[in-house]
A = this chain, B = another copy of it.
C-alpha cells in the first residue's frame, strides 16, 4: 500500500477507556461496568451534540460533565474527590497490549495522534501509556474547537503532515470515527477488537483488523 504516514485515534484505539472500570468499581461497588459504559456513551454524545449546536467545550469539561450525568442517572453519590480521582484515571488509561506491540514495528511511517482529547489530557495519557517515543505529534481538536467526525478535524492531520489524504492511513477502533475518516478521504483501518457490527454511516473502512498487530504486515504489502 502507498501509505506515507499513520494517524491514530487515541481513546478506545491506543488507550482503553474502560480501564477506568476498576476505579469505578472500587468507588461504586457493583456499578463499575454500568458507570464506565454510560459515562463513555454520554461523553461521545456530548461531543456530537455540542459540535452540532456550535457550543464546544473541551474534552476534559465534556468528560467531567458526562461523569456527573452518568452518576446521577445511576443514582450514585459523586463526591468532588471522586471526580478528581476519576478524571485523574483518564490521564492514566491502560494502553491496549496490541497497540504497544505494533508501534515499534511501524517506525518507517510518520505517526501522529488525532484525538478529541484536550492537549493536556492527551499529553499526560500518551506519556503514561508509553507511546511518546513513537509519535511525531499529538494533534487535538481543541485547535479548531469542533469534534470528530466533522471533516475539519481530519483536515488537521493533512495540514500537519502535508501529505495527500489517500497516502495517509487512519487507524481507529471507533467505527463512527473510522467512517468519518473514510468519508473525508483517508485510507482507513478499523481495529475491531470486540467483534462489533459496522454502523450504517455511508462510508466503509478499507480494512478491518482484529488487532493492531495485524497492521504492519498489511500496509507493507504491495496491494
Q: Which A residues have a C-beta under 8 Å from some C-beta of B?
A: 42, 45-46, 48-55, 57, 62, 65-66, 68-69, 72-73, 147-151, 176, 179-180, 183, 196-197, 199-203
Closest 6 CB pairs of A and B: A65-B200, A55-B202, A48-B48, A72-B197, A53-B183, A52-B150
Q: Which residues of B contact A51 (CB under 8 A)?
A: 52
Contact B183 A69 (CB under 8 A): no
How many monomers of this protein are in the complex?
A: 2
Which residues does chain B contribute within 8 Å of A52, judged by CB atoms? Answer: 48, 51-52, 147-150, 180
Closest to A57 in B: B202
Which chain B residue shows the least CB distance to A48?
B48
User: With A55-B201, A203-B55 known to touch, is A180 a contact of B149 (CB < 8 Å)?
Assistant: no
Residue of B nearest to A70 (CB): B197
